[in-house]
Amino acid sequence: MFALVAALAQVGGILIDKIILTRRQMEIRVYVPILFLFLVISTGILYPYLGKINSEAFQPYYLFLFFLMLVVAIFWNIFYYRGVQSEKVHDYEIPLLTILLATIFLKGERNVHIFIAAIIAGIALVTAHLRKAHLEVSSGTKNLVLAVILMSVELIILDILLKVYSPVALYFFRTGLIFIFFYFYFRPYLNKVSPANMGLIISTAFLGTLQMITKFYGFQQYQQYGVVYTSLVLILSPVIVYIGSTIFLHEKIKFKTVVSLIVILAAIVYATIFGK
């Protein structure tokens, strides 16, 4: 359930990001700091009730991982929003790369049934984006590819940090420190944002908080195979994004995208039944 909610929230967030950055043409230097401000606020509301930190979090090992997470997150956010601003909506590689990295580096994540289902779903998703035997790419794809790689690396680090942080606590401190960095890095003019755009930013901040926290709880819900199983379900989100972009952004949807959705759903059902 957590993974499905995360997938749906991710879909809404990506579509709103695209609307703000392309249709409304808001500058990244203004959008990103404001977004992280509201991410901090929305998570901060939950912190008194769900925020917990283990004393082990202050050990050098976890402090190093926390710092590494911040660096990785800052870079992928910069690459991601630059890519979204110039490219069609697509982030289909994120769950697949996360699954592969988790299987390699996290011993507890090695389940044959879930891994097979994830690979089948991933292949179906990538195939849906093939055109004349080549992946559809353009000039802005480099930023998105770099963002995807760093996102996947961060998710592996986050899974380790969740041993000493509750999901809400980890996301609160993560977004808070990243907001401080982006505020001083971009120095945005907050008074120039229209009420309509501010409403969209608040909406995507709410969805972003919902997506990340439910994703973290998904990692914990399936204790042994949390990262791989949650990422498998998240493979759904890029397909749903394409369907949503057809409705709201008037981008064309292809028959093979629908076929890939059916294959992915079948893979998730298989993993749910046989992967536990």
> In this prediction, what percent of the chain has a pLDDT beyond 90?
28
Helix (H, G, I), strand (E, B) or coil at 91: coil
> Is the separation of the CB atoms in 167 and 12 below 8 Å?
no
Q: Report pLDDT for 225.
A: 45
Question: Quick one: average pLDDT of 94-105?
Answer: 49
Pairwise CA distance, residues 58 & 123, whole Å: 40
Q: Which residue has the higher pLDDT, 184 or 156?
A: 184
pLDDT at 105: 46
Q: Which of 1-15, 110-124, 156-170, 224-238 reaches the highest mean pLDDT?
A: 156-170
Quote the CA–CA distance of 227 and 106 in Å, as a whole number.
9
Q: Which residue has the higher pLDDT, 36 or 250?
A: 36
Q: Does this model's pTM top 0.85?
A: no
Segment 247-256 long-range contacts (CB within 8 Å, at least 24 positions apart): 248/15, 248/19, 249/15, 249/18, 249/19, 249/89, 251/88, 251/89, 254/128, 256/127, 256/128
Name residues whose C-beta falls within 8 Å of residue 87's C-beta, 6 or more positions apart in sequence. Answer: 138, 140, 141, 143, 144
- The overall average pLDDT reported for the chain is 75
The domain spans of the chain are 2-274
Q: What are phi and psi of 131, to 5 degrees?
A: -140, 115
